[in-house]
Structure 1
């Protein structure tokens, strides 16, 4: 519904403002008392206020939920640790950086690292007293975790195959440009973790003030996400973002970007006023205009987003509360020009490509399938060791994808054999063709045992569930069909479950809501089909649907489209 009255900016410190708004207000631009809290030897935790504040420094406090009750019985505090999330625009790392990050995971983390669904890298298991050393080690690798979390613009994503064409190569750097343009300016991170001397800017009256030209003292009402997709690939799930930029090619060059706004996938069980939303495409901008478009869109959310109820504070709710027409008028006024007409494009898939591909510069890159982004050595393969050995030879770059996979970039033909030999020696296949289409296209969030929001397993359980579903795939002749399944331990959306043709969202330990019918190319959300299913019910329900799909599909019809066409969602049964 469009509102005729002009809305007024919201007061960040209204009496009913959320507690987080008051934490930001009193934080002295994200400093708070983090230094003292991280030096407190009495506990492995930090205060509740600082749990919120440290997110702006790219970290979440967690505890090992597998041992929580046991420690409670022993009258011990929870096994606290910290997750640190790097900011890596476009997911691009050098071989030297990969080696240094591998060292960090071994020395300070739990011996693994994890590629996220936003092309970033996370370390888990960092204890409180190693935080500073970890961040210093990241800095030595020319990397940081600023804006990895918190109420700011997060890691900017981009389709990660820039060498497939000169057009890709022209688009890819915009991820870094946008990330830098929207980066918080507070020096708190550098002072607290890197021992930079605190500096102050004097304004009229001699009062010290930190200047945040975009975010101001209170930053954003909630997190903000931006992604760039290069058609025909929507591997970034561009419509899931607050700003989705769709690169438009003209005569082999970047003409500009179609601009989509208001995407966001998280919701809250039991609150019908929360929901997933795909971004709405509102216009076109040139490359010269895109930084201003992003800046002013973020600024509008800063000024008009809900700062009272954090469940309703994402940009999607701001848009729906005031209307798209109001937003476009406000944006055009701030920009001083109107966006152009949306230009035609077409998306084919949200999936990644695996195996070797030649590039326009005569080199090769290799798309590797990782199981939910986890870089580790286990009983079946030593991927972590293999990637380190490849990186140590400095024969390629490393580019993380939005589907938790990895691309080895810029490999010369003479080094292909070396890469293949190292992977084979450590039990890892360079080709994903031996995996089922369902497994190749699966995504899972971390969930248990570390995420405090998780209601059920995801990363640790989905491989086992897929093995059982593969029995049905084989029975119905569907093993090699590309079907997209995604699992999250809660409805917050980290694994983009609501964009899976099959989506499973944890409701309680061992039980999941089943969602069906998202599109293969990412332009349609799925719909709740069955609620609170245990494993047996999931397997039985999907076996029946897969049997129908095999028997009645139209040639090349994706599973999500089939479910919609046959009307299964119209007869959904919610318990």
Structure 2
């Protein structure tokens, strides 16, 4: 292994506190088990909440009640968010029923479909964590590596049941996920109360320090870029010829998160670097991740993502290191093209003759009413389900003779409109934000309905109501809803205040630019109005809003307001 700028050769004591915590955690055990038994607090004490992220669990509190609890000298209302690992978003209807039942029993805030193609359960109290985890095991699911400094759940774009090539990509995505998850026995010991035994060399790939930060892998299948492949640490773009999967174009170094307070923190697009054969994809993913493991910054945690490693050491250095570990250079990238980065809602037919229906879920929020509607639908119809990276839900494996009956059932349950929702709503993403996310500085999910209404009214003034514009909304600059790839995006700065980004591409291949800082609702609408007016008047046929702004250099006319 090359030792250029590698922190692994340095004493652990010189590294970031998080690295030291991992080193002494005994492969993610820490004192989590002991903290779960502490009945004097609703929290898990000490540093163990940081370790619990590797187990797919975030400790949070109800921020709507935080100030009142503080005034009354009471402990915050601690609760936990549990994120499942669902490679490619594929579920059986029995698994959905299981998630439904577990969410009703243990989660106070329902089900959330996330932009990483999985499910989050919010509002789980500490005494219920083990029961929930064991319940998930019974339906064939787990939460390992859904958070933490490891390979996050691998996402896979486009419905895998549309063609043989789509199915093969989905299989490779699952194999990649299984290959890259941590192997520590801490998970069954703590949550299932089993004793597989051993704490020595439990992580042959990760080692005791795991990764410097999270590492996201995603598979995309052109012409649909629904996973925003250029926002992944490692993106694999399927190359299909006459229905046969040839392999993948590889892109590296994408990442959405940033800190507004640091100039050396920024979002970054992944760069396409070459082509690999299809069967190599899981092993190749491990090779790339291992380079980040060895050379990522373990001293400055805010500079620890793979994108910063590439910018610090250079792409030439990375390609040389990759060739050395792989044993041969990459082949040149093949030609491919994306058309959009949204979901195709409504009905689609696969090459096997079966039909699939994609239902719109606003902000991925499955509340009590919708939860009951979906589970009721599945009692009669549908074989499998799929979650999408745009927070929607697909019903799959329907025979042609079932379509009309299913549609009638959707109408009876008040779900039929979700097949053909408002065009703008279908191209809008938002994160959970307040009141549960500890990083949120402004509203996102709860503000989305109002924002959509205002945005649509404004577009309607210029005859643009039926034209989709990718809109992203997050409660902080970390980028969970991939805002920096949107044509229009707001990232939270403070209650009611956002940074406004404009100019991303409808296909997901260009970063948006900071256009104005600390804007409130009125200022947001004021800034957009003249741009939309110009777009309506001067756009070319088929031209998207982001492309128009770049072509006319309209983003150069408004200097970005400094963000303190």
1:262: how far off? 0.6
Report the counterpart of residue 39 of structure 2 in structure 1: 41
Aligned mates of 2:134, 2:435 — CA distance in 1: 27
Deviations 1:39-71 (A, max 9, x none): 100000112411100000001001110010111
Pairing partner for 1:17 from 8, 15, 18:
15
- CA change 1:283–1:509 in 2 (3 A) is same
1:167: how far off? 1.8
Deviations 1:546-568 (A, max 9, x none): 11111111111000001111111
1:465 maps to 2:451: yes
Aligned mates of 1:319, 1:452 — CA distance in 2: 29
1:394: how far off? 5.4
Deviations 1:211-269 (A, max 9, x none): 21110011000000000000111001001011000001123211111111111010101
1:541 maps to 2:532: no
Aligned mates of 1:59, 1:479 — CA distance in 2: 40
Task: Tell me how large the CA RMSD over aligned residues is.
Answer: 1.5
Report the counterpart of residue 106 of structure 1 in structure 2: 104
Pairing partner for 2:482 from 496, 519, 526:
496
SS class of match (1:525): coil
Aligned mates of 1:148, 1:359 — CA distance in 2: 30
Report the counterpart of residue 376 of structure 1 in structure 2: 367
Aligned mates of 2:174, 2:10 — CA distance in 1: 30
Aligned mates of 2:88, 2:474 — CA distance in 1: 23
Report the counterpart of residue 206 of structure 2 in structure 1: 215
Pairing partner for 1:387 from 374, 388, 411:
374
Contact 1:292 1:335 (8 Å CA) reproduced? no
1:289 maps to 2:280: yes
Aligned length: 560
Contact 2:535 2:545 (8 Å CA) reproduced? yes
Task: Provide the TM-score with structure 2 as the length reference.
Answer: 0.97
Deviations 1:445-466 (A, max 9, x none): 1110000000100000021011
- Segment drifting more, 170-179 vs 144-153: 170-179
Pairing partner for 2:131 from 130, 133, 143:
133
Aligned mates of 1:70, 1:333 — CA distance in 2: 58
Aligned mates of 2:554, 2:7 — CA distance in 1: 44
List gaps (5 residues or longer) in structure 2.
none
Contact 2:19 2:209 (8 Å CA) reproduced? yes
1:487 maps to 2:499: no
Aligned mates of 1:395, 1:250 — CA distance in 2: 31
Aligned mates of 1:224, 1:162 — CA distance in 2: 23
Pairing partner for 2:331 from 314, 320, 340:
340
Report the counterpart of residue 384 of structure 2 in structure 1: 397
Report the counterpart of residue 86 of structure 1 in structure 2: 84
Pairing partner for 2:402 from 415, 424, 427:
415
Contact 2:12 2:19 (8 Å CA) reproduced? no
Report the counterpart of residue 340 of structure 2 in structure 1: 349
- CA change 1:176–1:568 in 2 (3 A) is same
Matches within 5 A, 1:88-487: 88-200=86-198, 209-377=200-368, 382-393=369-380, 395-435=382-422, 437-487=423-473
Contact 1:13 1:21 (8 Å CA) reproduced? no
Deviations 1:160-188 (A, max 9, x none): 31222222122211110100111111111
Deviations 1:396-433 (A, max 9, x none): 31101111111111112333234323332232224543
Report the counterpart of residue 56 of structure 2 in structure 1: 58
Contact 1:156 1:178 (8 Å CA) reproduced? yes
1:198: how far off? 4.2
- CA change 1:10–1:385 in 2 (3 A) is same
Deviations 1:82-134 (A, max 9, x none): 00000000000000000000001100002510111010111000001100000
Aligned mates of 1:12, 1:400 — CA distance in 2: 42
Task: Provide the TM-score with structure 1 as the length reference.
Answer: 0.95
List gaps (5 residues or longer) in structure 1.
201-207
1:270: how far off? 1.6
